[in-house]
Amino acid sequence: MAQCDVCGKDDNMPYNCRHCGGTYCADHRLPENHNCSGLENWNDPSGVFGSGFDDSVQTGNSSRTSKSTASKALDKLPIDTGPGGPLAYFRGNMTYTLLALMWVTFLLQWVTLLIGGAVVHRTLFILAPQNPEYVWTWVTSIFAHDPGNIFHIVFNSIVIFFFGPIVERYVGSKKFAILFVVSGALAGLAQTAIQITQGYASVPGVGGVLGASGAALAIMGVITILNPNLRVYLMFMIPMPLWVLTAGIAVVSVFFVGVGGGGNIAHAAHLVGLLVGLGYGEYIKRTKNVRTPNQFQLGGGPGGPGGPGGPGGPGGGRRRF
């Protein structure tokens, strides 16, 4: 049961508007009945009907006389990047695509460990303080997770699964993917910088960061700004406003960053990812008229979303985030 954002009536079968993200009863489910923000862009393919993934979908004479740099680059690809092309699946489905990539990467990690060993695995998937110049690990480490702890990737997947589609609807698939990768990379680099100052860089095979918690918390930060009173269910049982959960994660992260502890949990990565999300959420709030649903369930785990404690896996001393 959920409460209608317009009349406040509890409804056993609420309707979630895919254009503005609000939750409504049967009487207010139509866009014109809840003053849907999508109505403002009704004739704009890049608004209501567009996905945000392909900027080349435009209207008016501007589509024939002006294109973005990204669109021109897409036009040079030997595949159809238009609405009916092979990339059409990714429009509106970037959250699930990124989740799939996380699990495919998790499988590849195990294959790499079995065939190439821990050294190759570390080179390919872990952002290590000894080799921050391995730029591919800035990205691969986001999708990689501790192969010795299935709960690491499970908890991150839960957060992304629930929050990701909401953010993707507001910013578009392409910007959502950029937010995911950029926030994840910045989070990992921040944790790596701390490990370098702690002297990890001089000890081979020690330290390192992997996991999508930085990106997951950035997504969570965006929703916290847009709807701080969104009701979530921690562990599917404990109801609380989203801002309380976010504040709790922030306080824990700041504390452990300050004392230099936290075991194998990358608290600095958590904090940086959350700050990126809060900042981007504030930008969206100031530039767009958005609405969010008023409740849904959120799973979690020890150490915050995606950050279960405890040692594990090859590359001892690395931090999961």
pLDDT tens for each residue of 132-141: 999 999 999 9
Q: What percent of the chain has pLDDT over 90?
A: 30
Q: Helix, strand or coil for residue 262?
A: coil
Q: What percent of the chain has pLDDT over 70?
A: 68
318 near 211, Cβ under 8 Å? no
Average pLDDT over residues 189-202: 87
Choose the most confident range, by mean pLDDT, from 179-193, 246-260, 282-296: 179-193
The tally of CA atoms less than 13 A away on the side-chain side of residue 180 is 33
Average pLDDT over residues 159-188: 91
Q: Which amino acid is it at 203? A: V
148 near 313, Cβ under 8 Å? yes
**Residue 6: pLDDT band with limits 50, 70, 90:** confident
Query: Domain limits of the chain?
Result: 1-35, 90-288
Residue 257 has pLDDT above 80, yes or no: no
Average pLDDT over residues 60-75: 47
Beta bridge partners of 10: 3
Residue 52 has pLDDT above 80, yes or no: no
Residue 319 has pLDDT above 70, yes or no: no
> For residues 44 and 110, which has the higher predicted lDDT (pLDDT)?
110
pTM of the model: 0.67
Q: Are strands 319-320 and 238-241 parallel, antiparallel or unpaired?
A: unpaired
Beta bridge partners of 295: 231
Task: Please report the sign of the dihedral spanned by the C-alpha atoms of residue 159, residue 165, residue 170, residue 171.
Answer: positive
DSSP 8-state class, residue 295: B
2 near 23, Cβ under 8 Å? yes
- Taking all residues of the chain, what is their mean pLDDT, rounded to a whole number? 75
Q: Which amino acid is it at 317? A: G
- The first and second tokens of residue 132, run together, are 């921050």
**Residue 114's pLDDT is what?**
94
Residue 184 has pLDDT above 80, yes or no: yes
| Rounded CA separation 275/47 (Å) | 27
Rounded alpha-carbon distances, angstroms, from residue 192 to 189, 206, 279:
5, 11, 22
